[in-house]
Amino acid sequence: MADRSTDTWYVSFEPKKLPGKRHHPRVTETFQNENEAKKFARRKMADTLNISAGTLNPHLPKRIIPSKQMVQWLRIGLIRTRRRNRPLLWHKEVLMRILALAMLAIGTVSTGPAAGQTYDPAYPVCLHVYGPITYYECRYTSLSQCNVSASGRAAQCVINPYFATAAEVAGYRRHRRVY
C-alpha cells in the first residue's frame, strides 16, 4: 500500500532566475497546516510577489488564495483574538451586521403606524382639524352637523371627495341621446 501524505496545504511561487541553472516556471511546497504554509509564504514574499496557496484536493473545504489576496491572508494570521482563535476580521463583520440590524429595527419601529385612508367613504362631510397633528374626521352626515363640532376649534368642514354614493338600481340602463 502506498503511504498517504499528511500535508494539507501548498504554497506555489515563481523562483528567482539564477544564471546557469535550469529555470522552473513555478515551484510548489506542501505543509501539514495553514500556519506552516503562512510562515513559508512570508519568507518567499521577500523574493517574489507571484505566490499562491491553498488546500490540497481531498481536504474540505477547498481554499485557494491567489496572489492578489496573499497579503490579506498573511495579515489575518498575525492578528488573532484570544477567544476561539478566530481572525479579528470575523468579529468586525459580526459587529457590523449587528449594528445594521439594530439600525433597521430602530428605523422600522420609530416610523410609527402607517397612515390609513384620509377620507372615510361612508360619510359625505369631513372635519379637517389643524394643529400639531393635522387629521380628518369623516363621520358627519351634513355640513351643519360638522359646523357645530368645528366651532371654537382650529378646524374646517369639507365635502368628502371620496363619498360613496348610493348604489345604482339594478337593471337601470343609461341611454345615449340621439340628436
Mean pLDDT for back-to-back runs of 10 residues, the chain (179 residues): 66 80 79 88 82 81 84 69 52 81 86 69 90 90 92 92 65 63
Q: Please check whether residue 7 is in contact with residue 40, taking contact to mean a CB–CB distance below 8 angstroms.
A: no
Helix (H) or strand (E) holding 129: strand 125-129
What pLDDT does residue 179 have? 67
At 140, phi and psi to the nearest 5? -120, 140
Q: Which three cell numbers stand for residue 78?
A: 498575525
Count Cα atoms within 13 angstroms, Cβ side, for 117. 10
Q: Which residue matches cell numbers 494539507?
A: 8
Strand, coil or helix: 54: strand
- The alpha-carbon radius of gyration of the chain (Å, integer) is 38
